């Protein structure tokens, strides 16, 4: 299963808000064996949302969109998703009923935009807030408030599944530039994915479907580098 993540918000592009939702969602999907192929941030603009959602839903098994859900003037994510799918926005009676019964809101107190969803969408109720999310044609629309987004994602998490990779990590204080020959050699010897991530130390991550091959690759490199433990 392959997925794309779309985060919506002018505040993300301006740097006013750190995009923690993208990292959290990528982690959750990866842990479930889903390959995250794209992470894209778009402004609060209907046309941009529609363009990206339309492109990604054609390319991937699922698209997770977060942010811009609600009744205010800049909450246009539902509009963009509806436009991408060629569906009108309609008042969702189940969403309205749930908010009045479980949320304690009077129907007259809720702005029409709160419960307007793309026609035919499956509503995702918001246990931590007000505005609902939805699922329509493999597009999952979640709110942008992290607590609301996380709680809502958990209600559909089982719908995301794939073959989970096995992972091993080797950490070394050696400079990445001095590891190039050994990284090339381990990639030639073993059928695994190798990622090298420099920082205070260099983290070399091995991943693949076969645990024995992944372990063998990590052990091969560990025997040929100075590890953090060795350095200490």
Give the β-pairing of 133-136 and 122-124.
antiparallel
Residue 109 clears pLDDT 80, i.e. is over it: no
- Could you report the per-residue pLDDT of 133-149, keeping only the tens digit for each? 999 999 999 999 999 99
- Could you report the per-residue pLDDT of 174-225, keeping only the tens digit for each? 999 999 999 999 999 999 999 999 999 999 999 988 999 999 999 999 999 9
In sign, the C-alpha dihedral spanning 150, 151, 152, 156 is positive
Angle between helices 146-156 and 20-31 (to 10 degrees): 20
The rounded mean pLDDT for the chain is 92
Domains of the chain (ranges, CATH numbers): 2-159 (3.40.980.10), 166-231 (3.30.70)
- As a residue count, the chain comes to 232
Q: Which residues of 144-155 are buried (b: 16+ CB within 10 A; e: fewer)?
A: bbeebbbbbbee
Residues 8-14, mean pLDDT to the nearest whole number:
96
Q: Is-contact 33 163, C-beta < 8 A?
A: yes
Side-chain-side CA neighbours of 160 within 13 Å: the count stands at: 29
According to the model, what pLDDT value does residue 100 have? 85
Residues 26-49, mean pLDDT to the nearest whole number:
95
Report the alpha-carbon distance of residue 39 to residue 166 in Å, rounded: 23
- Could you report the per-residue pLDDT of 56-67, keeping only the tens digit for each? 999 999 999 999
Residue 232 clears pLDDT 50, i.e. is over it: no
Residue 103 clears pLDDT 70, i.e. is over it: no
Please name the residues in contact with 26: beta carbons below 8 A apart, sequence gap of 6 or more: 5, 36, 39
Report the alpha-carbon distance of residue 91 to residue 88 in Å, rounded: 10
Report the alpha-carbon distance of residue 198 to residue 182 in Å, rounded: 15
Say how far residue 121 (Cα) sits from the centre of its chain.
20
């Amino acid at each position: 299963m392959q997925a794309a993540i779309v985060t919506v918000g002018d505040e993300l592009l301006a740097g006013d808000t750190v995009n923690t939702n993208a990292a959290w969602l990528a982690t959750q999907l990866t842990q479930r064996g889903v390959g995250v192929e794209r992470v894209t941030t778009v402004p609060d603009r209907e046309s941009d949302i529609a363009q990206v959602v339309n492109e990604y839903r054609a390319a991937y098994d699922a698209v997770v969109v977060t942010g811009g859900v609600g009744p205010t003037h800049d909450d246009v994510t539902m509009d963009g998703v509806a436009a991408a799918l060629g569906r009108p926005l309609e008042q969702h009676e189940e969403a309205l009923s749930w908010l009045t019964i479980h949320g304690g809101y009077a129907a007259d107190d809720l702005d029409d935009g709160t419960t307007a969803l793309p026609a035919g969408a499956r509503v995702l109720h918001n246990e931590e807030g007000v505005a609902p999310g939805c699922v329509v044609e493999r597009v999952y629309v979640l709110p942008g408030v992290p607590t609301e987004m996380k709680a809502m994602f958990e209600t559909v998490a089982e719908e995301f599944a794939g073959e989970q990779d096995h992972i091993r990590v080797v950490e070394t204080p050696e400079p990445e530039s001095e590891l190039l020959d050994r990284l090339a050699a381990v990639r030639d010897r073993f059928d695994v994915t190798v990622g090298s991530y420099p920082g205070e130390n260099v983290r070399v991550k091995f991943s693949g479907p076969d645990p024995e091959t992944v372990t063998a690759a990590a052990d091969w490199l560990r025997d040929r580098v100075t590890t953090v433990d060795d350095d200490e």
